[in-house]
Amino acid sequence: MSRRQFRLAAAAVSALAVATLCTGAPAAFADPGDPYRVNGTSQENPGNTALINPSADVQLEIHKYLGAPTGAGDGTEQTITDRDALQGVRFDVYRVGGVDLTTNQGWAAATALSGYQITAADIAGGSITVGGTSYALTLVSSPVTDGEGTATFTQADGVGLYLVNENLAGSGTITNVTSNSEVAKASITSAAPFFVTLPMTNPDDTSRWIYDVDVYPKNQTDSATKSVEDKGTVTSDNGNVGEHGIDYTITTSITDGSDPLGLYVIYDDLHPSLTFAGASLALSNGTTFTAGTHYNVYTAADWETAGTLYSSGEVAGGPLVTIVFTDAGLEILEANRSESVVTTLNTILGVQDEDGVIENEAVFIPNESWWDQNGKPGVDPEDPTTPPGDPSDPTDPWEPGIPTNPVESKYGNLVVNKQDPTDTGADMSGAEFAIYADPTPGDGNCSAGDVTGTPIDTGTIGAGNTLTFAGLQASNWYDGADVADEADWLSYCLVETKAPTGYNLDATPHYITVDWETGSTTAPALATELVNNEKSNLGNNLPLTGGDGVAALSVAGLVLVGGGVVYYAATSRRRRKAESTVEQ
């Protein structure tokens, strides 16, 4: 017998045996009431209390709590102090036909039923067949838990065997009585259907029967949360420029109680913009799980496509990621029920969608009982190679698991506009830019020291004198939350690395923020930056050796030199003439 088959058999015997009616805290009769009375009237056999009163009225009080109380119930009233009561949970009570508890033959029949695993088909069909004998199921009442978490069923002349089935689907709003808050139905693993005899032998006085029976069916609760780490302002883990990493952490509970889990499956239907790049799992106490030994990872294009076993590498297109625990992994979970499972998914942002918002939510199946209650008939969640079908299909809906909270990452674009301020129509194409994550965000400026190392993206000004950096993480929304204080915003530094022909480089890095609130349902967030360029030497020409400027200077020099020579010659002639006149 495989471990899975053994778990199913053991669960059937322990959950449905007549003797194992409930799970409750150890007996503490703070207010025991009178288990021999129903509606204030004694129901005991007036002739001999050791015999069942065949015409007695019977009563069943079903107490529902959030979680699985410890200890074993015995039909008597218990005191529960460590769990919160639930209001609004419906129970369907069926009378089992053909079982006369006033005879030993009737008790033998009831005992034969104790090992039978009740199915939804049995309940829907209205009968159980065991050993060739059919027992009719007649719905007699559907009590709902009240403000104290108790659903009460009373039946006149009701001695007999009953089947109790918790009906979460048929329940209305379920409320935690202590916190007065609604409890999601999907977070509750309903108790397995169970048999109960009315009356029962009093465990504290085995010479009498109790006609007012208290049961505390196991109520296991599970939860899942999700957080996101946006890595969009740094280069991706594999070092590729322009790749932005997003890591998701899924924290899932391990069902309390002592029943075998049977299965444990985590689904994450990733956003189409994401590429899956790997997973790692551990317990909240740090114990790590090994892929292939404790769990297996599968990827599929969607819910309607067969999954394939994942080992390494990248899977693009937002695949459906399915993580299935093996028997070895389930043993670790069952030994650590007070811990949580922490699953980390590594993803890379690809092409952002129309609004730049990357929303993601995961679901998980906490145990086999939950799946039997909520899952799709005929689907084995432990075999992802068989596609289960789209759970959102209105013609064939099903519940894939307990959902986490949704998380969002938000991305936007930066448009760089390039111009000559003195000639706005000038062609500025060919200018190159790099954008860096600002290592000192929130200070409002970028320095030369902020634009070193590897940029997160580069680009070239094209036609129209513009350049768009797409898929930049929003400055004021990261790790799944809005960041109100601008001093905590993430920022970028834009630097021109090559000037257009005939122009000087831009001298100063530009401080950039991308405000997610500038986006819409049809467009991502948008930041714009105008970068002006001045012409080389402000448009002036410098003199060059051998050029026109030198020639002009040479001519001017010659003119000056020639004038000087003429002046010198004229002066000399006048001087000689004067000297000749004096001598005469």
Distance from C-alpha of 378 to C-alpha of 232, rounded to nearest angstrom: 42
Domain total of the chain: 4
Distance from C-alpha of 366 to C-alpha of 381, rounded to nearest angstrom: 11
- Are 351 and 486 in a shared domain? no
- Are 212 and 258 in a shared domain? no
What string of DSSP letters covers 170-207?
T----EETTTTEE--GGGEEPPPPEEEEESEE-TT-TT
- Of 221, 243, 276, at which residue does a domain stop? 221
* In a domain? residue 559: yes
Mean pLDDT by 10 residues, the chain (584 residues): 36 35 35 78 91 94 78 76 88 95 90 81 90 92 94 94 91 92 82 89 91 85 91 61 83 88 96 94 97 98 97 95 98 95 93 83 93 87 95 90 94 94 93 93 91 90 94 92 92 96 92 93 92 78 53 49 52 53 46
State how beta strands 188-189 and 220-221 pair: antiparallel
Distance from C-alpha of 435 to C-alpha of 512, rounded to nearest angstrom: 9
- Of 405, 433, 449, at which residue does a domain stop? 405
* In a domain? residue 232: yes
C-alpha 272 chain-centroid distance: 15
The helix (run of H) or strand (run of E) holding residue 568 is: helix 548-583
- Are 401 and 448 in a shared domain? no
* In a domain? residue 584: no
- Are 269 and 282 in a shared domain? yes
Spatial contact of 227 and 480, defined as CB atoms under 8 Å apart: yes
3-class secondary structure, 16 = helix
Distance from C-alpha of 338 to C-alpha of 362, rounded to nearest angstrom: 21
- Are 455 and 342 in a shared domain? no
- Are 367 and 267 in a shared domain? yes
- Are 423 and 367 in a shared domain? no
- pLDDT at residue 505, as a whole number: 93
List of long-range contacts for 49-53, beta carbons under 8 Å, 24+ apart: 49/207, 49/208, 49/209, 50/207, 50/208, 52/101, 52/102, 52/159, 52/199, 52/209, 53/159, 53/209, 53/211
- pLDDT at residue 317, as a whole number: 94
The helix (run of H) or strand (run of E) holding residue 333 is: helix 327-334
- Are 418 and 430 in a shared domain? yes
| CATH assignment of the domain containing 504 | 2.60.40.10
The structure tokens listed for 396 are: 């064939």
Distance from C-alpha of 568 to C-alpha of 544, rounded to nearest angstrom: 34
Distance from C-alpha of 127 to C-alpha of 253, rounded to nearest angstrom: 36
The structure tokens listed for 521 are: 């349902």
C-alpha 474 chain-centroid distance: 20
Measured on CA atoms in the order 222, 122, 170, 24, is the torsion positive or negative? negative
* In a domain? residue 472: yes
- Of 405, 433, 457, at which residue does a domain stop? 405
Distance from C-alpha of 101 to C-alpha of 112, rounded to nearest angstrom: 13
* Neighbour tally for 577: CB within 10 Å: 9
- pLDDT at residue 540, as a whole number: 53
Distance from C-alpha of 368 to C-alpha of 374, rounded to nearest angstrom: 10
* In a domain? residue 394: yes
Asked if the bond preceding 397 is cis, omega within 30° of 0, the reply is no
- pLDDT at residue 245, as a whole number: 87
* In a domain? residue 88: yes
* In a domain? residue 446: yes
Q: Who contacts 116 (Cβ-Cβ below 8 Å, separation ≥6)?
A: 12, 16, 128, 130
Distance from C-alpha of 295 to C-alpha of 321, rounded to nearest angstrom: 13
Residue 460 bridge partners (DSSP): 432
Query: What dihedral angle (degrees, nearest 10) is formed by the CA atoms of 373, 376, 378, 380?
Result: -90
From 328, 316, 257, select the one nearest 292 (Cα to Cα). 328
- Are 330 and 476 in a shared domain? no
- Are 52 and 201 in a shared domain? yes
- Are 92 and 236 in a shared domain? no
Q: Who contacts 194 (Cβ-Cβ below 8 Å, separation ≥6)?
A: 15, 16, 20, 21, 22, 163, 164, 215, 217
* In a domain? residue 95: yes
Residue 320 bridge partners (DSSP): 269, 300
The structure tokens listed for 501 are: 């022909």
Q: State which residues form the domain around 560.
A: 545-579
Q: Tell me the whole-structure pTM to 2 decimals.
A: 0.73
- Are 474 and 524 in a shared domain? yes
| CATH assignment of the domain containing 245 | 2.60.40.740
* Neighbour tally for 226: CB within 10 Å: 21
